[in-house]
């Protein structure tokens, strides 16, 4: 514990928190958050403000060939809040998890909603849920996604997880085809996002991934979700992910450049710091309205609004005569039996709306939420 007499020798983290108006008790909590567990105890990660060192870097294990016909189940984990907007998405996501879990080709195991509100909510009996604490008030600075790495740190530390692998998922994911384990041994599988561009942001990336660690191309163009990863690996990466996220948010240039995808960049950097490279699978996910067909892809990610004229023409950026946008339902769930898209709208959008309608028609008590 740093006392007032020691302020001249205080760590950069302490000085940052003090400047933000946080207490000595909060400092102690945050230092615990960014500590890395080693042999049953957590070791401090230095260099929060200046970046001299983060966590001990663990090299990626050798790739392991999967035995023929061997199943490697993975645990599905998604972080969530107790806001209505998050709740209805989680209910639809869990509905389709149950529908696809036991289909041929699926290797999905158990399921956990990691709820980072700090207290139980009214979905505890509907969805398997593990409650963890949010960040101390004000530390996320309105960027609620910053709670995600902290939620994973807590869950991995406290929960009993039977599966050897974990899928990090999000509430706005729908399983559209049975999902196998796409990881291979120590090589996790991730989805490459076109807007995550480490090489085009080399100046910023180098603040957190110095040249001596390797080329910027070692930083994968991914976020933490969707990723299928060995539990032992994410246990090592998660505290670093937490640490890098806080450092990025504290750096004005990085915060401005990365905006709402800052935490995604933080996961990519944290993985590279641990020597972990992901298998990039474009078939992992599709994102309507840009991806037109479902095909053999596994997850629909409905993060973008789908706006069309009644002639079936995309009017993205302008509210369409027909639309489906999750942000239209910030305060409560969408109604049952949404209207289907007009003719000529891509199959991916039609499939999305049909899947939402099926879920809302079959989830008990949908209209009461």
Task: Give the model confidence (pLDDT) of 94-106 as tens digits.
Answer: 999 999 999 999 9
Question: HSE on the CB side for 241, CA within 13 Å?
Answer: 27
22 to each of 9, 39, 50, 139, 183, how far by Cα in Å?
18, 30, 19, 9, 41
**Is pLDDT of 13 > 50?**
no
pLDDT at 68 (0 to 100)? 60
Nearest to 289 by CA among 357, 225, 360, 350: 350
Any idea which of 93-102, 106-115, 130-139, 284-293 has the lowest mean pLDDT?
130-139
pTM, 2 dp? 0.82
Start-to-end CA distance of the chain, whole Å, equals 45
Predicted local distance difference test score (pLDDT) of residue 69: 66
pLDDT band at 71; cut points 50, 70, 90: confident
Determine the 3-state secondary structure of 308 from DSSP: strand
Indicate the domain borders of the chain: 74-280, 285-362
pLDDT at 14: 41
pLDDT at 138: 83
pLDDT recorded at residue 25: 36
Comparison of pLDDT for 7 and 272, the residue scoring more: 272
Q: Which fold has domain 74-280?
A: Spore Coat Polysaccharide Biosynthesis Protein SpsA; Chain A (3.90.550)
Decide: helix, strand or coil at residue 138. Answer: coil
- Mean pLDDT, the chain, whole residue set: 85
Residue 119 pLDDT exceeds 80:
yes
- The DSSP code for 314 is B
HEC secondary structure over 174-231: EECCCCCCCCECCECEECCCCCCCCHHHHHHHCCCCCHHHCCHHHCCCCCCCCEEEEH
Q: What is the pLDDT of residue 289?
A: 97
Across 221-231, average pLDDT: 97
């Amino acid at each position: 514990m740093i006392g007032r007499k020691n302020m001249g020798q205080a760590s950069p983290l302490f000085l940052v928190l003090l400047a933000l108006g946080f207490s000595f008790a909060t400092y102690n909590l945050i230092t615990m958050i960014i500590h890395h567990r080693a042999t049953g105890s957590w070791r401090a990660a230095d260099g929060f403000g200046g970046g001299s060192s983060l966590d001990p870097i663990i090299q990626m294990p050798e790739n392991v060939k999967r035995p023929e016909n061997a199943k490697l189940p993975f645990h599905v984990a998604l972080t969530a809040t107790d806001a209505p907007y998050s709740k209805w998405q989680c209910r639809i996501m869990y509905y389709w998890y149950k529908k696809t879990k036991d289909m041929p080709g699926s290797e999905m195991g158990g399921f956990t909603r990691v709820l980072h509100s700090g207290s139980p909510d009214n979905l505890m009996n509907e969805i398997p849920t593990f409650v963890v604490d949010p960040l101390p008030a004000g530390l996320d600075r309105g960027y609620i996604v910053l709670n995600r790495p902290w939620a994973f740190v807590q869950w991995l530390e406290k929960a009993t997880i039977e599966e050897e692998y974990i899928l990090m998922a999000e509430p706005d994911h729908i399983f559209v085809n049975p999902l196998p384990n796409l990881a291979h041994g120590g090589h996790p599988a991730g989805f490459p996002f076109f807007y995550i561009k480490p090489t085009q942001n080399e100046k910023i990336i180098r603040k957190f991934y110095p040249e001596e660690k390797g080329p910027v191309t070692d930083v994968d163009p991914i976020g933490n979700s969707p990723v299928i990863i060995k539990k032992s690996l994410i246990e090592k990466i998660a505290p670093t992910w937490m640490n890098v996220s806080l450092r990025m948010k504290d750096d004005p240039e990085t915060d401005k450049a990365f905006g709402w995808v800052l935490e995604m960049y933080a996961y990519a950097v944290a993985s590279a710091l641990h020597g972990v490279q992901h298998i990039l699978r474009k078939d992992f996910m599709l994102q309507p309205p840009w991806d037109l067909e479902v095909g053999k892809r596994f997850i629909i990610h409905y993060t973008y609004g789908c706006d069309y004229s009644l002639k079936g023409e995309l009017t993205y950026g302008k509210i369409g005569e027909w639309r489906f946008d999750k942000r239209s339902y910030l305060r409560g769930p969408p109604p049952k039996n949404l209207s289907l898209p007009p003719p000529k709208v891509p199959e991916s959008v039609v499939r999305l709306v049909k899947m939402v309608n099926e879920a809302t028609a079959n989830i008990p008590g949908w209209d009461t939420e």
